Amino acid sequence: MGTVLSVKNLEKSFKTKQVLKGITFEVRSGEIMAILGPNGAGKSTTIRNIMGIMYPDNGSVHFEGHTDLPRNIIGYLPEERGLYKNVKVMDMLLYLAELKDYPAKKARERAMAYLEKFDLKGKEHVKLEELSKGMNQKVQFIASILHEPELLILDEPFSGLDPVSQDLFKEEIRDLANQGTAILLSSHQMNLVEEMCDRLFMIQAGQKVIDGPLDEVKAKYSNFKCTIRGKNQLADLEGIAGVQHVQQQDDVNILYLGKDIDPVQWLKTLPDHMAIQELRLDRISLHEIFVAVATNKNLITKGVEVYA
């Protein structure tokens, strides 16, 4: 996969506060890369520097094959939605496509197809102010992809969507990646990120803390955990070999296992007297990784450029 976007050593300060501290990453063709971090970490500032909304103090943003910001090959769904409310849906879509130098006839054909796909057929002559928040979200998403961008930047794309609409967005984003679109996605909905993304780039306080393929990050960072439903004494659970710590709430016990534990062999060591109504063994979720980073828990180990 070829590199579409290269961000190198971005630094940005506002007055005396440095909000970006040497941010470096790449987004490749056909790849869905998530840029993650808690509020205030620097995600939106990074995206705004990429889009030319603001400029870095140091560092560079490079688009393969272009010397300047090639707006016509970029699709952008901002976190703060900004369509003109008193304009009709089709007029809005065609206007934005025209700004990208996209052929009008093709834009209209694609717009009609997308409106039907996103359950907005018959709304093309309705003003945006008459649509629900979710419908407006769909229209703005269509506007970001209508001109067949090579790079698609999505900032909180699932915000305000019901589960059915979320599935439609996920399907379309995957299809675009399969067709070769490079996708940079920012979202706080970790379950959707974990389900969709190929790579992770997580920042905290303006600097990188995680960078790598999702499967490698999870394999090298996410230890196993075992969730057991049953009434057991906390001290007994903490005394099991290989258990680093235990979270207990009523009869639900989550046992966090140490690194390099073989889960199959570990299960054989569970005491016979344990009360087990249900048992589930899996890796720590991306949500838990995110919380660990955001709260500065010392859970991150070296490997795959993962730090704390």
CA–CA gap between residue 121 and residue 130 (Å, rounded): 15
Q: Are residues 124 and 246 in the same domain?
A: no
Q: What is the mean pLDDT of residues 176-187?
A: 96
Is the pLDDT at 141 greater than 60, yes or no? yes
Q: Is residue 71 part of a domain?
A: yes
Q: Are residues 73 and 159 in the same domain?
A: yes
DSSP H helical ranges for the chain: 43-50, 89-99, 104-117, 133-145, 163-178, 190-196, 214-221, 234-238, 263-267, 286-294
Q: Are residues 199 and 256 in the same domain?
A: no
Is the pLDDT at 261 greater than 90, yes or no? no
Q: What pLDDT shows up at residue 128?
A: 95
Q: Are residues 97 and 32 in the same domain?
A: yes
- Dihedrals phi, psi of 295, to nearest 5 degrees: -105, 10
Q: CATH no. for residue 266?
A: 3.30.70.260
Domain closes at, from 165, 192, 218 = 218
Q: Is residue 154 part of a domain?
A: yes
Global confidence as pTM? 0.82
Q: Are residues 210 and 234 in the same domain?
A: no
Q: What pLDDT shows up at residue 119?
A: 94
CA–CA gap between residue 283 and residue 294 (Å, rounded): 19
Q: What pLDDT shows up at residue 296?
A: 64
Q: Residue 245: exposed, middle, or buried by beta-carbon count in 10 A (0-12, 13-18, 19+)?
A: exposed
Q: What is the mean pLDDT of residues 91-118?
A: 96
Q: Are residues 203 and 234 in the same domain?
A: no
CA–CA gap between residue 11 and residue 9 (Å, rounded): 6
Q: CATH no. for residue 148?
A: 3.40.50.300
Contact 26, 6 (CB under 8 A): yes
Q: Percentage of the chain with pLDDT > 70?
A: 95
The pair of structure tokens assigned to 164 is 């059915």
User: Which residues, 6 or more positions from 168, have their beta carbon under 8 angstroms from its beta carbon?
Assistant: 117, 118, 119
Total count of domains within the chain: 2
Q: Which structural domain, as residue segments, surrounds residue 233? A: 223-283
Q: Are residues 172 and 203 in the same domain?
A: yes
Q: Is residue 248 part of a domain?
A: yes
Q: Is residue 291 part of a domain?
A: no
> What pLDDT digit, counting tens, does each position of 147-170 carry?
999 999 999 999 888 999 999 999
Residue 45's pLDDT band (boundaries 50, 70, 90)? very high
> Which three-class secondary structure state does DSSP give residue 24?
strand
Q: Is residue 49 part of a domain?
A: yes
Is the pLDDT at 142 greater than 50, yes or no? yes
Q: Are residues 210 and 186 in the same domain?
A: yes
Residue 305's pLDDT band (boundaries 50, 70, 90)? very low
Domain closes at, from 172, 194, 218 = 218
Q: Is residue 45 part of a domain?
A: yes
Q: Is residue 300 part of a domain?
A: no
> What pLDDT digit, counting tens, does each position of 198-221 carry?
999 999 889 998 899 988 887 776
Residue 240's pLDDT band (boundaries 50, 70, 90)? very high
Domain closes at, from 183, 218, 253 = 218
Q: Are residues 204 and 240 in the same domain?
A: no
Q: What is the mean pLDDT of residues 249-255?
A: 93
The pair of structure tokens assigned to 102 is 């996209």
Q: Residue 30: exposed, middle, or buried by beta-carbon count in 10 A (0-12, 13-18, 19+)?
A: middle
> What pLDDT digit, counting tens, does each position of 63-91 carry?
998 888 898 999 999 988 778 999 999 99
Q: Are residues 43 and 66 in the same domain?
A: yes
Q: Is residue 82 part of a domain?
A: yes
Q: Are residues 152 and 196 in the same domain?
A: yes
Q: Are residues 95 and 166 in the same domain?
A: yes
DSSP H helical ranges for 66-213: 89-99, 104-117, 133-145, 163-178, 190-196
Q: What pLDDT shows up at residue 301?
A: 41
User: Which residues, 6 or more positions from 276, have their beta carbon under 8 angstroms from its beta carbon?
Assistant: 228, 229, 230, 270
User: Which residues, 6 or more positions from 193, have their beta carbon under 8 angstroms from its beta carbon?
Assistant: 34, 36, 185, 187, 200, 286
